[in-house]
Amino acid sequence: MSLLDLPLELLFWVADNLDGAQDLLALVCLNKAANASLLPSLYQFNVRRQRSSALFWGVLKGNAEFVEKMLRGYQADVNTTDDKSRTPIFYALRAQNQTIIRMLLSDPRTDIDWQDKHKQTPLIYTIARNALSADSLLLDFKPRLNRRDEKKRSAIWYAVAHCHEGLVQVLLGRGSVIRMSDYRNISSVGLAIVKKSAEVTRMLLHHRESDTGKCLLEDDNVRDHLLHRAVKVGFHDIIALLVTHGANPNTRNRNGQSLLHQAAERGDKEVLQHLLTYEQTSADARDRFGRTAFHIAAEHGQKSIARLLLTCSAVDINALDNNGATALCLAVQAERTAIALQILAEDHVDLNVKGQNGSTALHSAAKRGNVPIAAVLLNNHDLDPNIRDDEEWTPLTCAASRGDLCMVELLLARTDIQVNVPQASPLFHAAREDHRDVVRRLLCLDTIDINQKFWDFSPLCVASEMGHLEITRLLLKHRPPPDLNLKTYMGDTALSLAACHGQLSIIDLLLKEKGLDVTASDKLGDTAICKAARNGHEHVVQRLFKDPRAKDGNDMKVAIETSLTSKISLYLQGRLNAEGNFRT
Protein backbone atom coordinates (compact mmCIF):
# COMPACT_ATOMS: atom_id res chain seq x y z
CA MET A 1 0.00 0.00 0.00
CA SER A 2 1.43 3.40 -1.01
CA LEU A 3 1.91 6.25 1.50
CA LEU A 4 -0.29 8.45 -0.64
CA ASP A 5 -3.09 5.91 -0.40
CA LEU A 6 -3.49 6.69 3.27
CA PRO A 7 -6.45 8.80 4.31
CA LEU A 8 -5.79 12.57 4.18
CA GLU A 9 -6.15 12.86 7.97
CA LEU A 10 -3.31 10.39 8.47
CA LEU A 11 -1.08 12.22 6.00
CA PHE A 12 -1.67 15.47 7.94
CA TRP A 13 -0.81 13.67 11.16
CA VAL A 14 2.43 12.32 9.64
CA ALA A 15 3.33 15.77 8.31
CA ASP A 16 2.69 17.41 11.69
CA ASN A 17 4.94 14.93 13.48
CA LEU A 18 7.94 15.08 11.19
CA ASP A 19 10.98 16.70 12.86
CA GLY A 20 13.02 17.65 9.81
CA ALA A 21 12.17 20.26 7.23
CA GLN A 22 13.84 18.17 4.55
CA ASP A 23 11.60 15.18 5.33
CA LEU A 24 8.51 17.33 5.09
CA LEU A 25 9.72 18.94 1.87
CA ALA A 26 10.35 15.51 0.38
CA LEU A 27 6.80 14.50 1.27
CA VAL A 28 5.37 17.66 -0.28
CA CYS A 29 7.32 17.11 -3.49
CA LEU A 30 6.09 13.54 -4.09
CA ASN A 31 3.53 14.67 -6.65
CA LYS A 32 1.06 17.42 -7.41
CA ALA A 33 -1.54 15.98 -5.13
CA ALA A 34 0.88 15.85 -2.18
CA ASN A 35 2.05 19.33 -2.93
CA ALA A 36 -1.45 20.70 -2.99
CA SER A 37 -2.43 18.89 0.18
CA LEU A 38 0.69 19.22 2.32
CA LEU A 39 2.17 22.62 1.33
CA PRO A 40 0.24 24.41 4.11
CA SER A 41 1.86 22.00 6.55
CA LEU A 42 5.26 23.07 5.24
CA TYR A 43 4.37 26.73 5.85
CA GLN A 44 3.13 25.93 9.34
CA PHE A 45 6.30 23.97 10.04
CA ASN A 46 8.38 27.00 9.01
CA VAL A 47 6.45 29.31 11.33
CA ARG A 48 6.40 26.83 14.21
CA ARG A 49 9.87 25.28 13.97
CA GLN A 50 11.98 27.66 11.83
CA ARG A 51 11.08 31.07 13.22
CA SER A 52 9.27 32.17 10.06
CA SER A 53 12.51 32.24 8.08
CA ALA A 54 10.56 31.77 4.84
CA LEU A 55 9.62 35.44 5.13
CA PHE A 56 13.19 36.41 4.24
CA TRP A 57 12.99 34.27 1.13
CA GLY A 58 9.75 35.89 0.06
CA VAL A 59 11.09 39.43 0.69
CA LEU A 60 14.40 38.80 -1.12
CA LYS A 61 12.57 37.24 -4.08
CA GLY A 62 10.11 40.13 -4.16
CA ASN A 63 7.17 37.69 -3.88
CA ALA A 64 4.52 39.91 -2.33
CA GLU A 65 1.80 37.24 -2.61
CA PHE A 66 3.88 34.76 -0.65
CA VAL A 67 4.76 37.34 2.01
CA GLU A 68 1.11 38.27 2.44
CA LYS A 69 0.11 34.59 2.68
CA MET A 70 2.73 33.99 5.40
CA LEU A 71 1.64 37.06 7.35
CA ARG A 72 -2.12 36.80 7.02
CA GLY A 73 -2.69 33.08 6.59
CA TYR A 74 -0.03 31.60 8.86
CA GLN A 75 0.69 34.45 11.25
CA ALA A 76 4.43 34.41 10.48
CA ASP A 77 6.61 36.37 12.90
CA VAL A 78 7.10 39.73 11.16
CA ASN A 79 10.00 40.54 13.54
CA THR A 80 11.94 37.34 12.97
CA THR A 81 15.69 37.97 12.72
CA ASP A 82 18.63 36.58 10.79
CA ASP A 83 22.26 36.22 11.88
CA LYS A 84 22.70 40.01 11.57
CA SER A 85 19.73 40.59 13.84
CA ARG A 86 17.80 42.15 10.96
CA THR A 87 14.07 41.69 10.42
CA PRO A 88 12.39 41.27 7.00
CA ILE A 89 11.66 45.01 6.79
CA PHE A 90 15.41 45.72 6.48
CA TYR A 91 15.64 43.61 3.33
CA ALA A 92 12.43 45.00 1.87
CA LEU A 93 13.87 48.51 2.32
CA ARG A 94 17.16 47.48 0.75
CA ALA A 95 15.27 46.07 -2.27
CA GLN A 96 13.08 49.21 -2.29
CA ASN A 97 9.99 47.06 -2.95
CA GLN A 98 7.22 49.50 -2.11
CA THR A 99 4.47 46.87 -2.03
CA ILE A 100 6.26 44.59 0.43
CA ILE A 101 7.46 47.56 2.51
CA ARG A 102 3.91 48.84 2.90
CA MET A 103 2.65 45.32 3.63
CA LEU A 104 5.21 44.81 6.41
CA LEU A 105 4.76 48.28 7.87
CA SER A 106 0.98 47.90 7.87
CA ASP A 107 1.24 44.85 10.09
CA PRO A 108 0.64 46.14 13.63
CA ARG A 109 3.16 43.64 14.97
CA THR A 110 6.07 45.20 13.02
CA ASP A 111 8.66 46.85 15.26
CA ILE A 112 9.62 49.85 13.15
CA ASP A 113 12.36 50.84 15.61
CA TRP A 114 14.04 47.42 15.79
CA GLN A 115 17.84 47.70 15.98
CA ASP A 116 20.12 45.21 14.23
CA LYS A 117 23.49 44.08 15.60
CA HIS A 118 24.96 47.46 14.58
CA LYS A 119 22.10 49.16 16.43
CA GLN A 120 20.70 50.57 13.21
CA THR A 121 16.95 51.01 12.93
CA PRO A 122 15.25 50.51 9.54
CA LEU A 123 15.26 54.32 9.06
CA ILE A 124 18.97 54.67 9.82
CA TYR A 125 19.72 51.58 7.72
CA THR A 126 17.89 53.02 4.72
CA ILE A 127 19.34 56.55 4.89
CA ALA A 128 22.88 55.29 5.56
CA ARG A 129 22.67 53.31 2.28
CA ASN A 130 21.17 56.26 0.44
CA ALA A 131 18.09 54.17 -0.44
CA LEU A 132 15.95 57.25 -0.17
CA SER A 133 12.87 56.18 -2.14
CA ALA A 134 11.48 54.37 0.93
CA ASP A 135 12.16 57.16 3.42
CA SER A 136 8.87 59.01 3.02
CA LEU A 137 6.97 55.73 3.39
CA LEU A 138 8.89 54.89 6.56
CA LEU A 139 8.35 58.35 7.99
CA ASP A 140 4.58 58.00 7.51
CA PHE A 141 4.67 55.28 10.18
CA LYS A 142 6.36 57.66 12.67
CA PRO A 143 9.60 55.90 13.60
CA ARG A 144 11.74 57.26 16.43
CA LEU A 145 14.04 59.78 14.73
CA ASN A 146 16.71 60.21 17.39
CA ARG A 147 17.78 56.62 17.89
CA ARG A 148 21.50 56.19 17.27
CA ASP A 149 23.55 53.28 15.96
CA GLU A 150 26.77 51.86 17.38
CA LYS A 151 28.69 54.80 15.88
CA LYS A 152 26.31 57.14 17.70
CA ARG A 153 24.87 58.42 14.43
CA SER A 154 21.21 59.23 13.96
CA ALA A 155 19.03 59.38 10.84
CA ILE A 156 19.66 63.09 10.32
CA TRP A 157 23.41 62.57 10.60
CA TYR A 158 23.31 60.20 7.62
CA ALA A 159 20.94 62.49 5.72
CA VAL A 160 23.51 65.28 6.13
CA ALA A 161 26.30 62.90 5.08
CA HIS A 162 24.50 62.46 1.74
CA CYS A 163 23.77 66.23 1.52
CA HIS A 164 20.08 65.45 0.99
CA GLU A 165 18.50 68.85 1.59
CA GLY A 166 14.88 67.72 1.28
CA LEU A 167 15.22 64.86 3.72
CA VAL A 168 17.13 67.01 6.21
CA GLN A 169 14.32 69.55 6.09
CA VAL A 170 11.69 66.86 6.68
CA LEU A 171 13.63 65.35 9.61
CA LEU A 172 14.09 68.80 11.17
CA GLY A 173 10.40 69.46 10.81
CA ARG A 174 9.58 66.22 12.63
CA GLY A 175 11.82 66.96 15.61
CA SER A 176 15.25 65.47 14.89
CA VAL A 177 17.92 66.56 17.40
CA ILE A 178 20.98 68.11 15.75
CA ARG A 179 23.28 68.65 18.71
CA MET A 180 24.23 65.00 19.19
CA SER A 181 27.75 64.02 18.06
CA ASP A 182 28.98 60.70 16.78
CA TYR A 183 31.88 58.64 18.14
CA ARG A 184 34.36 61.02 16.46
CA ASN A 185 32.65 63.99 18.12
CA ILE A 186 31.25 65.23 14.82
CA SER A 187 27.70 66.57 14.99
CA SER A 188 25.37 66.75 12.02
CA VAL A 189 26.05 70.46 11.53
CA GLY A 190 29.79 69.86 11.90
CA LEU A 191 29.49 67.21 9.20
CA ALA A 192 27.59 69.60 6.93
CA ILE A 193 30.48 72.06 7.26
CA VAL A 194 33.05 69.37 6.49
CA LYS A 195 30.99 68.42 3.42
CA LYS A 196 30.85 72.13 2.50
CA SER A 197 27.13 71.82 1.88
CA ALA A 198 26.05 75.45 2.13
CA GLU A 199 22.26 74.99 2.05
CA VAL A 200 22.22 72.10 4.53
CA THR A 201 24.56 73.99 6.86
CA ARG A 202 22.41 77.12 6.80
CA MET A 203 19.30 75.03 7.36
CA LEU A 204 20.83 73.43 10.46
CA LEU A 205 22.26 76.67 11.82
CA HIS A 206 18.94 78.51 11.53
CA HIS A 207 16.80 75.64 12.85
CA ARG A 208 15.12 76.48 16.14
CA GLU A 209 14.99 73.63 18.62
CA SER A 210 11.59 72.80 20.02
CA ASP A 211 12.70 72.61 23.66
CA THR A 212 14.66 75.90 23.83
CA GLY A 213 13.32 77.85 20.89
CA LYS A 214 16.90 78.85 20.05
CA CYS A 215 19.03 78.13 16.98
CA LEU A 216 22.72 77.14 16.95
CA LEU A 217 23.72 80.61 15.77
CA GLU A 218 22.58 81.96 19.14
CA ASP A 219 24.82 79.58 21.14
CA ASP A 220 28.26 81.15 21.80
CA ASN A 221 30.12 77.88 22.48
CA VAL A 222 28.66 76.03 19.51
CA ARG A 223 29.20 79.01 17.24
CA ASP A 224 32.92 79.25 18.02
CA HIS A 225 33.40 75.49 17.72
CA LEU A 226 31.75 75.46 14.30
CA LEU A 227 33.88 78.41 13.24
CA HIS A 228 36.96 76.25 13.86
CA ARG A 229 35.56 73.61 11.51
CA ALA A 230 34.63 76.15 8.86
CA VAL A 231 38.14 77.65 8.94
CA LYS A 232 39.73 74.20 8.77
CA VAL A 233 37.92 73.33 5.52
CA GLY A 234 37.99 76.87 4.09
CA PHE A 235 34.21 77.29 4.04
CA HIS A 236 34.12 81.07 3.43
CA ASP A 237 30.35 81.55 3.29
CA ILE A 238 29.80 79.86 6.63
CA ILE A 239 32.78 81.66 8.20
CA ALA A 240 31.13 84.95 7.26
CA LEU A 241 27.74 83.77 8.55
CA LEU A 242 29.15 82.64 11.91
CA VAL A 243 31.26 85.77 12.48
CA THR A 244 28.33 87.99 11.47
CA HIS A 245 26.25 86.28 14.17
CA GLY A 246 28.89 86.82 16.85
CA ALA A 247 31.43 83.99 16.53
CA ASN A 248 34.82 85.06 17.87
CA PRO A 249 37.52 85.08 15.12
CA ASN A 250 40.16 84.94 17.86
CA THR A 251 38.86 81.70 19.35
CA ARG A 252 41.56 79.10 20.05
CA ASN A 253 41.93 75.34 19.79
CA ARG A 254 43.29 73.04 22.50
CA ASN A 255 46.87 73.98 21.52
CA GLY A 256 46.17 77.65 22.07
CA GLN A 257 46.24 78.40 18.35
CA SER A 258 43.92 81.06 17.01
CA LEU A 259 42.18 80.66 13.66
CA LEU A 260 44.93 82.77 12.08
CA HIS A 261 47.55 80.33 13.38
CA GLN A 262 45.65 77.38 11.93
CA ALA A 263 45.15 79.02 8.54
CA ALA A 264 48.81 80.05 8.44
CA GLU A 265 50.02 76.54 9.26
CA ARG A 266 47.90 75.01 6.50
CA GLY A 267 48.83 77.74 4.02
CA ASP A 268 45.20 78.70 3.46
CA LYS A 269 45.67 82.19 2.10
CA GLU A 270 42.00 82.81 1.27
CA VAL A 271 40.79 81.98 4.77
CA LEU A 272 43.55 84.02 6.38
CA GLN A 273 42.74 86.98 4.14
CA HIS A 274 39.08 86.55 5.02
CA LEU A 275 39.81 86.54 8.76
CA LEU A 276 41.97 89.67 8.50
CA THR A 277 39.02 91.59 7.08
CA TYR A 278 37.31 91.45 10.49
CA GLU A 279 38.22 94.33 12.74
CA GLN A 280 38.19 92.15 15.85
CA THR A 281 40.80 89.69 14.49
CA SER A 282 44.08 89.99 16.38
CA ALA A 283 46.94 89.67 13.86
CA ASP A 284 49.50 89.26 16.67
CA ALA A 285 47.62 86.70 18.77
CA ARG A 286 50.00 84.25 20.51
CA ASP A 287 49.75 80.49 20.86
CA ARG A 288 50.95 78.64 23.96
CA PHE A 289 54.54 78.88 22.66
CA GLY A 290 54.22 82.64 22.30
CA ARG A 291 54.21 82.44 18.50
CA THR A 292 52.17 84.61 16.19
CA ALA A 293 50.67 83.54 12.86
CA PHE A 294 53.73 85.15 11.25
CA HIS A 295 56.02 82.87 13.27
CA ILE A 296 53.98 79.86 12.12
CA ALA A 297 54.07 80.89 8.47
CA ALA A 298 57.84 81.41 8.62
CA GLU A 299 58.51 78.09 10.33
CA HIS A 300 56.28 76.08 7.97
CA GLY A 301 57.52 77.74 4.80
CA GLN A 302 54.19 79.31 3.81
CA LYS A 303 55.50 81.99 1.45
CA SER A 304 52.17 83.40 0.28
CA ILE A 305 50.94 83.62 3.89
CA ALA A 306 54.13 85.37 5.01
CA ARG A 307 53.83 87.81 2.13
CA LEU A 308 50.22 88.56 3.04
CA LEU A 309 51.00 89.06 6.73
CA LEU A 310 53.91 91.38 5.89
CA THR A 311 51.41 93.70 4.21
CA CYS A 312 49.36 93.87 7.40
CA SER A 313 50.37 96.87 9.51
CA ALA A 314 49.25 95.11 12.72
CA VAL A 315 51.90 92.37 12.34
CA ASP A 316 55.03 92.86 14.44
CA ILE A 317 57.90 91.51 12.33
CA ASN A 318 60.21 91.39 15.38
CA ALA A 319 57.76 89.72 17.77
CA LEU A 320 59.48 87.23 20.11
CA ASP A 321 58.15 83.81 21.02
CA ASN A 322 58.64 82.20 24.44
CA ASN A 323 62.21 81.25 23.48
CA GLY A 324 63.00 84.78 22.38
CA ALA A 325 62.99 83.87 18.67
CA THR A 326 61.65 86.05 15.88
CA ALA A 327 60.03 84.75 12.72
CA LEU A 328 63.40 85.26 11.01
CA CYS A 329 65.12 82.97 13.52
CA LEU A 330 62.52 80.26 12.98
CA ALA A 331 62.69 80.56 9.19
CA VAL A 332 66.47 80.12 9.19
CA GLN A 333 66.33 77.25 11.71
CA ALA A 334 63.75 75.46 9.57
CA GLU A 335 65.80 76.19 6.43
CA ARG A 336 63.01 78.24 4.87
CA THR A 337 65.44 80.29 2.81
CA ALA A 338 62.88 82.01 0.59
CA ILE A 339 60.88 83.29 3.57
CA ALA A 340 64.01 84.34 5.45
CA LEU A 341 65.12 86.39 2.44
CA GLN A 342 61.59 87.78 2.20
CA ILE A 343 61.81 88.97 5.82
CA LEU A 344 65.32 90.35 5.38
CA ALA A 345 64.07 92.51 2.52
CA GLU A 346 61.83 94.37 5.02
CA ASP A 347 62.90 97.46 6.97
CA HIS A 348 63.59 97.49 10.71
CA VAL A 349 64.30 93.78 11.05
CA ASP A 350 66.15 92.98 14.30
CA LEU A 351 69.05 90.76 13.19
CA ASN A 352 70.65 90.23 16.59
CA VAL A 353 67.77 88.65 18.48
CA LYS A 354 68.72 85.47 20.37
CA GLY A 355 66.18 82.68 20.10
CA GLN A 356 66.20 79.09 21.36
CA ASN A 357 69.52 78.13 22.99
CA GLY A 358 70.66 81.72 22.51
CA SER A 359 71.11 81.28 18.76
CA THR A 360 70.78 84.24 16.40
CA ALA A 361 69.72 83.94 12.78
CA LEU A 362 73.42 83.96 11.85
CA HIS A 363 74.11 81.06 14.22
CA SER A 364 71.36 79.06 12.55
CA ALA A 365 72.63 79.90 9.07
CA ALA A 366 76.17 78.89 10.06
CA LYS A 367 75.00 75.62 11.62
CA ARG A 368 73.08 74.69 8.47
CA GLY A 369 75.53 75.99 5.90
CA ASN A 370 72.94 78.41 4.51
CA VAL A 371 75.26 80.68 2.54
CA PRO A 372 72.57 82.88 0.89
CA ILE A 373 71.07 83.84 4.26
CA ALA A 374 74.48 84.31 5.89
CA ALA A 375 75.62 86.54 3.01
CA VAL A 376 72.59 88.81 3.33
CA LEU A 377 72.94 88.96 7.12
CA LEU A 378 76.67 89.72 7.02
CA ASN A 379 76.12 92.44 4.44
CA ASN A 380 74.03 94.33 6.99
CA HIS A 381 76.10 96.65 9.18
CA ASP A 382 73.58 96.39 12.02
CA LEU A 383 74.50 92.75 12.47
CA ASP A 384 76.81 91.73 15.32
CA PRO A 385 78.67 88.62 14.03
CA ASN A 386 80.24 87.88 17.42
CA ILE A 387 77.15 87.21 19.55
CA ARG A 388 77.53 84.03 21.61
CA ASP A 389 74.83 81.43 22.18
CA ASP A 390 74.14 79.63 25.45
CA GLU A 391 77.23 77.44 24.88
CA GLU A 392 79.38 80.53 24.30
CA TRP A 393 79.73 79.65 20.62
CA THR A 394 79.85 82.32 17.93
CA PRO A 395 78.72 81.70 14.34
CA LEU A 396 82.39 81.30 13.37
CA THR A 397 82.78 78.53 15.96
CA CYS A 398 79.73 76.76 14.50
CA ALA A 399 81.05 76.99 10.95
CA ALA A 400 84.56 75.85 11.95
CA SER A 401 83.20 72.88 13.92
CA ARG A 402 81.18 71.79 10.84
CA GLY A 403 84.21 72.15 8.59
CA ASP A 404 82.29 74.57 6.36
CA LEU A 405 85.13 76.44 4.66
CA CYS A 406 82.80 78.49 2.48
CA MET A 407 80.92 79.75 5.54
CA VAL A 408 84.19 80.39 7.39
CA GLU A 409 85.46 82.50 4.46
CA LEU A 410 82.19 84.42 4.41
CA LEU A 411 82.43 85.18 8.13
CA LEU A 412 86.12 86.11 7.96
CA ALA A 413 85.27 88.69 5.30
CA ARG A 414 83.79 90.81 8.10
CA THR A 415 86.54 92.98 9.50
CA ASP A 416 84.95 92.97 12.94
CA ILE A 417 84.86 89.17 13.26
CA GLN A 418 86.38 87.73 16.43
CA VAL A 419 88.63 84.76 15.59
CA ASN A 420 89.79 83.95 19.13
CA VAL A 421 86.64 83.13 21.05
CA PRO A 422 87.15 82.43 24.78
CA GLN A 423 85.79 78.97 25.75
CA ALA A 424 84.75 78.35 22.13
CA SER A 425 87.88 78.58 20.01
CA PRO A 426 87.08 78.03 16.30
CA LEU A 427 90.60 76.65 15.79
CA PHE A 428 90.19 74.12 18.61
CA HIS A 429 86.83 72.79 17.32
CA ALA A 430 88.09 72.57 13.74
CA ALA A 431 91.17 70.67 14.97
CA ARG A 432 89.08 68.29 17.10
CA GLU A 433 86.82 67.43 14.14
CA ASP A 434 89.82 67.00 11.78
CA HIS A 435 88.71 69.75 9.39
CA ARG A 436 92.07 70.37 7.72
CA ASP A 437 91.05 73.08 5.24
CA VAL A 438 89.44 75.14 7.97
CA VAL A 439 92.44 74.73 10.29
CA ARG A 440 94.77 75.72 7.45
CA ARG A 441 92.65 78.81 6.75
CA LEU A 442 92.50 79.89 10.39
CA LEU A 443 96.23 79.46 10.80
CA CYS A 444 96.73 82.00 8.01
CA LEU A 445 95.27 84.71 10.27
CA ASP A 446 97.88 86.93 11.92
CA THR A 447 95.76 87.30 15.04
CA ILE A 448 95.03 83.62 15.62
CA ASP A 449 95.90 82.30 19.07
CA ILE A 450 97.30 78.84 18.35
CA ASN A 451 97.35 77.92 22.04
CA GLN A 452 93.83 79.04 22.91
CA LYS A 453 92.26 76.36 25.11
CA PHE A 454 88.84 74.80 25.37
CA TRP A 455 88.31 73.17 28.77
CA ASP A 456 92.10 73.43 29.26
CA PHE A 457 92.85 71.53 26.04
CA SER A 458 94.87 73.31 23.36
CA PRO A 459 94.34 72.55 19.65
CA LEU A 460 97.63 70.59 19.64
CA CYS A 461 96.55 68.51 22.66
CA VAL A 462 93.20 67.51 21.15
CA ALA A 463 94.70 66.75 17.72
CA SER A 464 97.41 64.59 19.34
CA GLU A 465 94.93 62.74 21.55
CA MET A 466 92.60 61.95 18.64
CA GLY A 467 95.35 60.99 16.23
CA HIS A 468 94.70 63.73 13.65
CA LEU A 469 98.11 63.52 11.95
CA GLU A 470 97.65 66.26 9.32
CA ILE A 471 96.17 68.68 11.83
CA THR A 472 99.10 68.08 14.17
CA ARG A 473 101.52 68.65 11.30
CA LEU A 474 99.81 71.93 10.35
CA LEU A 475 99.93 73.17 13.94
CA LEU A 476 103.62 72.26 14.36
CA LYS A 477 104.56 74.06 11.12
CA HIS A 478 102.88 77.27 12.19
CA ARG A 479 105.06 80.22 13.09
CA PRO A 480 105.18 81.04 15.90
CA PRO A 481 104.82 77.35 16.81
CA PRO A 482 102.42 76.08 19.48
CA ASP A 483 103.52 75.52 23.06
CA LEU A 484 104.58 71.85 22.93
CA ASN A 485 104.50 71.41 26.69
CA LEU A 486 101.21 73.18 27.45
CA LYS A 487 99.32 71.08 29.97
CA THR A 488 95.67 70.22 30.49
CA TYR A 489 93.91 70.53 33.85
CA MET A 490 95.25 67.02 34.71
CA GLY A 491 98.80 67.92 33.70
CA ASP A 492 98.80 66.04 30.38
CA THR A 493 100.83 67.33 27.44
CA ALA A 494 100.27 66.62 23.76
CA LEU A 495 102.96 63.87 23.99
CA SER A 496 101.45 62.12 27.00
CA LEU A 497 97.95 62.23 25.47
CA ALA A 498 99.24 60.70 22.24
CA ALA A 499 101.16 58.05 24.22
CA CYS A 500 98.10 57.21 26.32
CA HIS A 501 96.04 56.56 23.18
CA GLY A 502 98.77 54.78 21.23
CA GLN A 503 99.09 57.47 18.53
CA LEU A 504 102.54 56.40 17.23
CA SER A 505 102.54 58.67 14.13
CA ILE A 506 101.76 61.70 16.28
CA ILE A 507 104.56 60.78 18.68
CA ASP A 508 107.03 60.57 15.77
CA LEU A 509 106.09 64.12 14.78
CA LEU A 510 106.31 65.49 18.31
CA LEU A 511 109.67 63.87 19.06
CA LYS A 512 111.21 65.79 16.14
CA GLU A 513 110.55 69.04 17.99
CA LYS A 514 113.51 70.35 19.97
CA GLY A 515 111.60 72.07 22.75
CA LEU A 516 109.58 68.99 23.69
CA ASP A 517 109.73 67.88 27.33
CA VAL A 518 109.60 64.09 26.96
CA THR A 519 109.71 63.42 30.71
CA ALA A 520 106.97 65.89 31.68
CA SER A 521 104.68 64.32 34.28
CA ASP A 522 101.01 64.80 35.01
CA LYS A 523 99.40 65.45 38.40
CA LEU A 524 99.74 61.76 39.26
CA GLY A 525 103.44 61.73 38.41
CA ASP A 526 103.07 59.71 35.18
CA THR A 527 105.19 60.52 32.12
CA ALA A 528 104.41 59.68 28.52
CA ILE A 529 106.26 56.33 28.65
CA CYS A 530 104.40 55.36 31.85
CA LYS A 531 101.05 56.05 30.19
CA ALA A 532 102.02 54.06 27.09
CA ALA A 533 103.12 51.08 29.24
CA ARG A 534 100.02 51.19 31.43
CA ASN A 535 97.77 51.12 28.35
CA GLY A 536 99.69 48.33 26.62
CA HIS A 537 101.06 50.34 23.67
CA GLU A 538 104.27 48.40 23.11
CA HIS A 539 105.37 50.19 19.91
CA VAL A 540 104.94 53.57 21.60
CA VAL A 541 107.04 52.42 24.56
CA GLN A 542 109.81 51.24 22.20
CA ARG A 543 109.72 54.51 20.24
CA LEU A 544 109.90 56.65 23.36
CA PHE A 545 112.71 54.54 24.76
CA LYS A 546 114.79 55.24 21.67
CA ASP A 547 114.69 58.96 22.41
CA PRO A 548 117.57 59.80 24.78
CA ARG A 549 115.42 62.46 26.48
CA ALA A 550 113.09 59.74 27.80
CA LYS A 551 115.73 57.64 29.60
CA ASP A 552 114.92 58.36 33.18
CA GLY A 553 115.51 55.40 35.51
CA ASN A 554 112.73 56.30 37.90
CA ASP A 555 110.22 56.58 35.04
CA MET A 556 111.28 53.17 33.77
CA LYS A 557 110.71 51.55 37.16
CA VAL A 558 107.19 53.00 37.33
CA ALA A 559 106.53 51.93 33.74
CA ILE A 560 107.74 48.37 34.51
CA GLU A 561 105.53 48.15 37.61
CA THR A 562 102.40 49.49 35.90
CA SER A 563 102.78 48.02 32.40
CA LEU A 564 99.69 46.28 31.08
CA THR A 565 101.56 43.40 29.47
CA SER A 566 104.51 41.28 30.59
CA LYS A 567 106.08 41.80 27.19
CA ILE A 568 106.47 45.54 27.82
CA SER A 569 107.71 44.88 31.32
CA LEU A 570 110.35 42.39 30.10
CA TYR A 571 111.39 44.77 27.31
CA LEU A 572 112.09 47.59 29.77
CA GLN A 573 113.76 45.33 32.35
CA GLY A 574 116.16 44.12 29.68
CA ARG A 575 117.36 47.70 29.18
CA LEU A 576 118.34 48.21 32.85
CA ASN A 577 121.53 47.04 34.57
CA ALA A 578 121.74 45.50 38.01
CA GLU A 579 121.76 48.93 39.65
CA GLY A 580 118.50 49.88 37.86
CA ASN A 581 120.16 52.34 35.47
CA PHE A 582 120.08 52.27 31.70
CA ARG A 583 122.78 50.23 30.06
CA THR A 584 125.17 52.28 28.01
User: C-alpha dihedral over 366, 368, 370, 376, to 10 degrees?
Assistant: -40
Paired with 187 in beta bridges are 181
- pLDDT of the residue at 568: 76
Please tell me which residue, 2 or 204, carries the higher pLDDT value.
204
Is the predicted pLDDT of residue 102 greater than 50, yes or no?
yes
- pLDDT of the residue at 207: 95
- pLDDT of the residue at 552: 60
What whole-number percentage of the chain has pLDDT above 70? 89
pLDDT by residue (tens digit) across 404-428? Answer: 999 999 999 999 999 999 999 999 9
Is the predicted pLDDT of residue 43 greater than 90, yes or no?
no
pLDDT by residue (tens digit) across 421-471? Answer: 999 999 999 999 999 999 999 999 999 999 999 989 999 999 999 999 999
In this prediction, residues 281-309 reach a mean pLDDT of 95
Q: Which of the listed ranges 22-36, 456-470, 561-575 does the model predict with the highest average pLDDT?
A: 456-470
- pLDDT of the residue at 21: 54
Please, which residues have CB within 8 angstroms of residue 360's CB and are 6 or more apart in sequence?
329, 351, 352, 353, 354, 387, 389, 395
- pLDDT of the residue at 582: 56
In this prediction, residues 528-536 reach a mean pLDDT of 90
- pLDDT of the residue at 7: 47
Please tell me which residue, 559 or 163, carries the higher pLDDT value.
163
DSSP string, 19-48: --HHHHHHHHTS-HHHHHHHHHHHHHHHHH
In this prediction, residues 313-323 reach a mean pLDDT of 92
Rg (CA), the chain: 45
Is the predicted pLDDT of residue 28 greater than 80, yes or no?
no
- pLDDT of the residue at 394: 98
pTM of the model as a whole:
0.74
- pLDDT of the residue at 1: 41
Alpha-carbon separation of residue 415 from 294, 352, 409 (angstroms): 34, 18, 12
In this prediction, residues 550-563 reach a mean pLDDT of 69
Q: Which helix (H) or strand (E) holds 305?
A: helix 303-310
In this prediction, residues 301-313 reach a mean pLDDT of 93
Is the predicted pLDDT of residue 30 greater than 50, yes or no?
no
The answer to whether the beta carbons of residues 492 and 500 sit under 8 Å apart is yes
In this prediction, residues 240-263 reach a mean pLDDT of 92
Choose among 120, 111, 119, 65: nearest CA to 88.
Answer: 111
pLDDT by residue (tens digit) across 123-177? Answer: 999 999 988 777 888 998 999 999 999 999 999 999 999 999 999 999 999 999 9
Is the predicted pLDDT of residue 11 greater than 50, yes or no?
no
